[in-house]
Amino acid sequence: MKSIVIIIFLTFFNQSFACECKTYPITKDKSQSELKLEDSFENSTVIFYGKYIGHGKFEPIKFYRGINILPNKKLIEEKEEKNICDYFFEKNKKYLVFGRLDENGKLWTSVCVSNTQIDNQSDLKFVKKYLNK
């Protein structure tokens, strides 16, 4: 009986807190990750490469979009409320980050966009391809 209650609870729990990300059609031309990446470039108001310094803060290294709407160009803060759909960054790692700013100038991002850990800035050559579209 305990097993059944646990299974029902886990099923309900997983469904009620699942992220609802955009789905992409299966095509011969592009992979799902390419379509997600294109969508991330199209729909993000802020795109930057930066180091996550912990406690919800980034030190931007290079901006690709949104520098003119940022209140503080040397430090970007994530929104304070966290949920299961948030992308969790590792301290002292560098990332290509896609997001939007809220009314308080805090960054909103999620697992539904193509945030990517990037170890070397030269690995960002692919960004120009998407920004020039």
What residue ranges do the domains of the chain occupy? Answer: 21-131
> What pLDDT does residue 47 have?
94
Q: Cα separation of 80 and 78, whole Å?
A: 6
CB-based contact 47:97 (threshold 8 Å):
yes
Helix (H, G, I), strand (E, B) or coil at 96: strand
Helix (H, G, I), strand (E, B) or coil at 100: strand
Does the domain at 21-131 match CATH 3.40.50.10440? Answer given as no
**Alpha-carbon distances, residue 27 vs 24, 107, 133 (angstroms):** 9, 32, 20
Q: Cα separation of 3 and 1, whole Å?
A: 5
Alpha-helix residue ranges (DSSP H) falling in the chain: 2-16, 32-43, 126-131
Give 3-state DSSP helix, strand, coil % of the chain, rounded to 5.
Answer: 30, 25, 45
The model's pTM is 0.80
Q: Cα separation of 6 and 9, whole Å?
A: 5
Kindly give the confidence (pLDDT) of every residue in the chain, 133 residues in length, as a single tens digit, with 9 standing for 90 and above: 555 544 444 444 444 457 888 888 888 888 888 899 999 999 999 999 999 999 889 999 999 999 888 777 788 888 877 788 888 899 999 999 999 988 888 889 999 999 999 988 888 888 888 876 5
Q: Cα separation of 33 and 102, whole Å?
A: 26
Which residue is listed with tokens 């299961």? 84
